[in-house]
Chains A and B, each alone.
Chain A
Amino acid sequence: MSTSVLPEPGDTAGADPMSTLTTADRPVAVGAAKPARRPLRRGERGKLASVGLHSLLTVCAFVAAFPVAWILYISLGAGKDDYLHPGRIFSRMTLSNYSFVVNHTGFGTWMLNSLIVGLGTMAVGVLISASAGYAVSRMRFPGHRPLMYTFLLTQMFPVSVLMVPLYKIMANLGLLDTYQGLILIYCSTAVPYCAWLLKGYFDTIPVDIDEAGRIDGLSPFGTFWRLIVPLAKPGLSVAAFYTFLTAWGEVAFASHFMLSADKYTLAVGLQTYISQYNSQWNYMAASAVLIAIPAGVVFYLVQKHLVAGLTAGGTKG
């Protein structure tokens, strides 16, 4: 490969390889002894490498997207065993599964509950993890290192240690079977990682900006709110995405702390559903697609920030 980048004696026949080839030069170069060896400029690829790159990526993208597309396709088949005979679905696609799920189950209620909990977790979680992340990023106060380590620690144990004591605490606080209770629990799982991520993002924002704000008479909190939060939008949107998804997809806590049927979130609702319509996979598929849509919308809104937001979190974590 080095030959394709660095000038070689044989290649220099037509033109200086480091300068851009003009169109007038090109025929000379092509007509020269080694037509295929036109030196590549930086960032250029040969035809073969290009084909290889694109085919490899296409295969990977196909594998990544296929299960998602598959469930979409299966959801269009009316029979409950259609997933075993995908060929059948194609000739008679129908939206009947969707209309059944929406009209004849508690789907609307579950969806609303999940949205309340998901958006609530997002708002509360992003707010408190941002303030904590900012404090840890900008101020060296006694206790900041133990705090960061605690964040890591909270990722380490399974729910089964917490379940019973948490149940009692929620009952004592009167938060059992309420949206607030579930939102707080989800915050406790999502916030540590978000605070970690946002701390990394805040580290990339120059301290000079804070200082300018302080000199102009803003309090530290004002600096954070008026200057840093607007600048940290990419990082914040990734944190929002993460908190929302955490709440949206969680099963274990939701199924034990939301007791009354009108408070069920989607994950809990679907469980009642499996036993009710035993192995009616087509309904499951249709509701799975409906569940994926809000997550997809949130994802679409934040996706242009995703790399920038994660970068900072990753590099400076």
Chain B
Amino acid sequence: MTVAVQGRARKERRDREPRPGLIARLRRSYDQHWYAWVMCTPVVVVLAVLVGYPLVQGVILTFSNANSLNVGRTIGVNHIPDSYTWIGFHNYVDLLTGPDNQLVPHFVWTVVWTFVCVVLTVGTGLGLAVLMNRKMRGRAVYRMLLILPWAVPTFVTVFSWRLLLSDGGAVDGLLGALHLPQPSWLSDPLAMKVAAILVNTWVGFPFMMLSFLGGLQSIPSELYEAAEMDGATPWQRFTQVTLPGLRPVSSTVTLLGIIWTFNQFNVIYLLFGSNGTDSVQILVTYAYQLFFGQMPQDYAESAAVGVICLSILVVFTGFYRRWMTRNEAAA
């Protein structure tokens, strides 16, 4: 998707100018690349030093038995050197087959969580965007209110949800008034999962809504007029004009949504705290538990979980992009 746009912008420029000779072309491209590289340098340096290098170090760490007791640190003026040893793939083997085997259940729940959350956020966002994309009274007010979950920092809103969902809180009060069962949202395993998904949907839909709203506004209205002339019903107009027109937006935001939800740390951590029931922890929060939730803090195994998350997402993204290109080619 990126390439197509770029190619077009670039080609326009090429077509207009006469083609210079080889040396001039090389020199011009060198000039261009020189500037481009200079402009990218800050980002590349920051990412290389603060993401790339630590990432490599982190991956190396997963082959060791590093924990909070044997990693080098500086206390005052005394420097304690590293004393962990290399244990090969032991961490990965332990995670997959060990006695306290936790990875597989967490993985299954993470997949369910990601799928349900993304379907709900994208669905709600799309629905609301379609509703909002028309002239009506109070549109600005609606938009303002609907963006609130995104505008207010997560740890504030999730804290509010924690009060709402607590035993005897407002949600239970509402359910009680309707004579519905009142599960204990913050301690019953199943209710916790439902609560986590609902809160995450609440947090995530405004971003989707805004992105789709932007996408809808970029669909030319002539297409709708033509569809109306051909006698298309509103549903047909939605499936035949709106959805294809939104494809560039939806493919990007869905991918981002999947990645972000898969790694959604804040909602689960803040809603249930670090001592929350184990079954509701997705891989990311599970890694965090291994890291901070126990003594000694198991750096290596926690990093191994992180590396597993990363590889799952990399593989998934590869397939997703290939699938998208094939779909685009078919369409």
Which A residues have a C-beta under 8 Å from some C-beta of B?
1-2, 5-6, 42-43, 50, 53-54, 56-57, 60-65, 67-68, 70-71, 74, 83-84, 86, 127-129, 131-132, 134-145, 147-148, 150, 152-166, 168-169, 171, 184-185, 187-188, 191-193, 195, 199, 203, 207, 211, 219-221, 224, 245, 248-249, 251-252, 267, 270, 281, 284-285, 288-289, 291-292, 295-296, 299, 303, 306-308, 310-317
Which A-chain residue is minimally distant from B259 (CB atoms)?
A155
Q: Which of B94-152 contact A (CB under 8 A)?
A: 128, 131-132, 134-138, 141-142, 144-149, 151-152
- Chain A: minimal CB distance from B281 (Å): 12
- Chain B: minimal CB distance from A128 (Å): 4
Q: Which label, helix, strand, loop or mixed, suits the secondary structure of the A interface?
A: helix
Please tell me which one of the listed residues A70, A155, A284, A306 contacts residue B170 in the complex, with CB atoms under 8 A apart: A70
Q: Mark B296-318, 1 if CB is under 8 A from A, else 0.
A: 00010011011101100110010
Task: Check if A203 sits within 8 Å of B5, measured CB to CB.
Answer: yes
Which A-chain residue is minimally distant from B213 (CB atoms)?
A307
Please tell me which one of the listed residues B40, B248, B269 contacts residue A132 in the complex, with CB atoms under 8 A apart: B40
Task: Check if B217 sits within 8 Å of A307, measured CB to CB.
Answer: yes
Whether a CB of chain A sits under 8 angstroms from the CB of B177 is no
Task: Check if A71 sits within 8 Å of B159, measured CB to CB.
Answer: yes
Q: A6-B228, A134-B39, A137-B6 are in contact. Are A267 and B58 (CB under 8 A)?
A: no
CA A53 to CA B228, docked complex, whole Å: 21
Task: Check if B210 sits within 8 Å of A306, measured CB to CB.
Answer: yes
Task: Check if B152 sits within 8 Å of A184, measured CB to CB.
Answer: no
Q: Which label, helix, strand, loop or mixed, suits the secondary structure of the B interface?
A: helix
Please give me the 4 A-B residue pairs with the lowest Cβ-Cβ distance, nearest first. Answer: A311-B214, A165-B57, A161-B306, A165-B54
Which B-chain residue is minimally distant from A173 (CB atoms)?
B49
- Chain B neighbourhood of A147, CB < 8 A: 40, 43-44
A-B contact pairs, 27 of them (CB 8 A): A1-B233, A62-B145, A63-B202, A71-B163, A131-B42, A137-B6, A141-B32, A145-B3, A155-B259, A158-B309, A159-B288, A160-B291, A160-B306, A164-B57, A165-B53, A188-B50, A251-B266, A288-B159, A289-B156, A295-B152, A295-B153, A296-B151, A303-B151, A310-B211, A314-B253, A316-B248, A317-B1
- Chain A: minimal CB distance from B42 (Å): 4
Task: Check if B1 sits within 8 Å of A306, measured CB to CB.
Answer: no
- Chain B neighbourhood of A317, CB < 8 A: 1-2, 248-249, 252-253, 256
- Chain A neighbourhood of B266, CB < 8 A: 249, 251
CA A307 to CA B36, docked complex, whole Å: 28
**Among A62, A139, A157, A161, which residue has the most Cβ atoms of chain B within 10 A?**
A161
- Chain B: minimal CB distance from A270 (Å): 8
CA A84 to CA B54, docked complex, whole Å: 45
Task: Check if B39 sits within 8 Å of A221, measured CB to CB.
Answer: yes
Whether a CB of chain A sits under 8 angstroms from the CB of B222 is no
- Chain B neighbourhood of A160, CB < 8 A: 284, 287-288, 290-291, 302-303, 305-306
- Chain A: minimal CB distance from B166 (Å): 7
Given contacts A57-B131, A156-B314, A162-B55, 6 further A-B pairs with CB under 8 A are A56-B131, A60-B146, A64-B147, A84-B168, A158-B283, A315-B214
